[in-house]
A = this chain, B = another copy of it.
């Protein structure tokens, strides 16, 4: 029996000797391998933080003492130590543990977290409530150096530096890496602090009014226990700056921390990922476009807030792009305003990131970009119910979040050709801020227009009658298949429309449809509320036209099968055809 197998709660851990704790660390790394090689997940962050989390549970008393993990993709060791080891040791139990902290799983988890830079603010709220209620527990936030560049974390640190005067321990896990390499002036200061073992007089944390301690051996259990014992029950906020090695104990991850930040199932010996990527993906097409465009036009600049992989950009390509590539670090807000400035001055900015992270920029898109109508192009990867299915990373809110901001043109391509034409049109034109949603389905090929300057003009792809299907972006192929099914089973040919724009309706075309259609169906890859279909239903509200809007109910979904989810909400061809029969 391994030491890990004896741990059912943090209580069990406290009885162990240092040597046993070290064995426990090795057991945890084995358990990480067991799960990650089989189902993938966040990799290097967990390998690097094993000793810290053992020491946290050894010194503090969770759940009385409260831990908040930033992003929480480094909470696997914590989960193993708090009654959830089966999720790592036993294949049959993998599905019981999400890849993030989750209060539904354990009283040791305070929040469901998946976006970065939130831990300091969330934990400072726990501090405030404790103080109002007269509690005495320790509150500990654990945040990586990469997450520090996010505005929410910086706001939180600054706030704590002057407004909190009671126990609060902020562990800054400095592994010298964000998702990709770190970007930002504060990382020079972290490096200086590491070089001087925390003694440099110029110190970002103390400049914000925070107490500070440095620990160089963040992967040494005894050092970490000593550090935590020093600050346990401290009466004011303190930053513990610890130096750790991302990927520690997994050689391949130690050597390529970016590649192994997150992984698919892999072969432990070779490191080869057990996954077959399709021969062509929208990410790959984006990558190709960027590399060619940058060469052809020196005013083109590719920007990403720490997510170069969303455009498939590897390290060599980024180097090749030189000044035409900017990783802003984890700073979505800054990235959007920065792009607005670039566009204002006549250069051609393209931002690429995941849809879910772009949510942080509603205000910047509205104020910094759209009020100014600057021609920024934003491409969102995973703006779909397909792809990322963790509750904290859903792409199904993209249309609803952004389509209602004035001046923003949202394009939803339906094929490889249309995607590339839209991308090129968006980057070249000077009249609108444009957002393009990468389709979530596999790449298909269809001829496409090149000019999209007639905003909100839909395209009739197949002219029929009675029923018109408006099938948006990645759901266009669903519309195609539905149209065929209708013809086969209902005996008439419906009209199939590619709306191309998700941010408005083609009033002329919709009016024309009234002549020989009784029902309009909208199909979109996102929630119904605030989405495209609602605009169509509202347009026809006072007319005789019936409208049925297909999309997901407004809700947070977690770790679902997309096909099952769509079916559970009546979106299979059979279900839609049954609806049509009842309606016409």
- List A residues at the B interface (Cβ < 8 Å): 66, 68, 103, 110-115, 118, 121-133, 149-152, 154-163, 183-189, 201-204, 206-210, 298-299, 301, 323-324, 326, 328-329, 331, 333-334, 336-347, 349, 359-360, 362-364, 366-368, 370-372, 391-392, 397, 400-401, 403-407, 504, 519, 527-531, 533-535, 537-538, 540-543, 546-549, 554-556, 579, 583
Contacts and interface: CB of A to CB of B under 8 A. Distances in A.
B126 A341 contact: yes
B370 A326 contact: no
Contacts of A527: 404, 406
A407 B323 CA distance: 43
Contact of A406 (B185, B344, B403, B556): B556
B337 A125 contact: yes
Nearest to A119: B337
Residue from A210, A345, A547 whose CB has the most chain B CB atoms within 10 Å: A345
A149 B160 CA distance: 12
A530 B404 contact: yes
A181 B567 CA distance: 55
A301 B132 contact: yes
A185 B209 contact: yes
Nearest to A376: B125
Contacts of A161: 184-186, 188
Contacts of A156: 331, 334, 337-338
A391 to B, nearest CB: 6
Contact of A326 (B128, B203, B208, B298): B128
A323 B163 CA distance: 10
B163 A189 contact: no
Given A115-B367, A371-B556, A122 B158 contact: no
Contacts of A112: 371-372
30 contacts: A110-B344, A122-B338, A124-B341, A125-B339, A125-B342, A125-B345, A126-B341, A129-B344, A129-B346, A133-B299, A151-B333, A159-B338, A160-B185, A161-B184, A161-B185, A162-B184, A162-B188, A184-B208, A189-B209, A201-B202, A362-B363, A367-B392, A404-B529, A406-B527, A537-B537, A538-B549, A540-B541, A541-B548, A542-B547, A542-B583
Nearest to A190: B207
Contacts of A333: 121, 151-152, 155
Contacts of A301: 128, 132
Contacts of A103: 372
Contact of A118 (B160, B337, B407): B337
A542 B118 CA distance: 43
Nearest to A189: B207
Contact of A535 (B125, B331, B529): B529
A121 B326 contact: no
A68 B337 CA distance: 12
A79 to B, nearest CB: 18
Given A115-B367, A159-B183, A406-B555, 20 more contacts: A114-B367, A118-B367, A121-B336, A121-B368, A124-B334, A125-B341, A125-B344, A133-B345, A149-B159, A152-B334, A158-B184, A158-B329, A185-B207, A186-B208, A189-B208, A202-B207, A203-B207, A400-B404, A530-B530, A537-B538
A543 B341 CA distance: 48
Nearest to A127: B341
B149 A151 contact: no
A289 B157 CA distance: 31
Given A149-B155, A538-B537, A207 B209 contact: no
Contacts of A66: 345
The 10 closest A-B pairs by CB, nearest first: A125-B341, A161-B185, A151-B151, A185-B209, A129-B345, A404-B530, A121-B337, A362-B362, A541-B547, A155-B334
A294 to B, nearest CB: 11
Nearest to A305: B155
A202 B531 CA distance: 50
Nearest to A103: B372
A510 to B, nearest CB: 13
Contacts of A404: 397, 400-401, 527, 529-531, 554
Q: Which of A188, A326, A336, A337 has the most CB of B within 10 A?
A: A337
B129 A338 contact: no
A37 B364 CA distance: 33
Contact of A538 (B150, B366, B528): B528
A405 to B, nearest CB: 8
Contact of A392 (B341, B371, B407): B371
Contact of A347 (B129, B323, B529): B129
A152 B331 CA distance: 8
Nearest to A344: B110
A298 B338 CA distance: 44
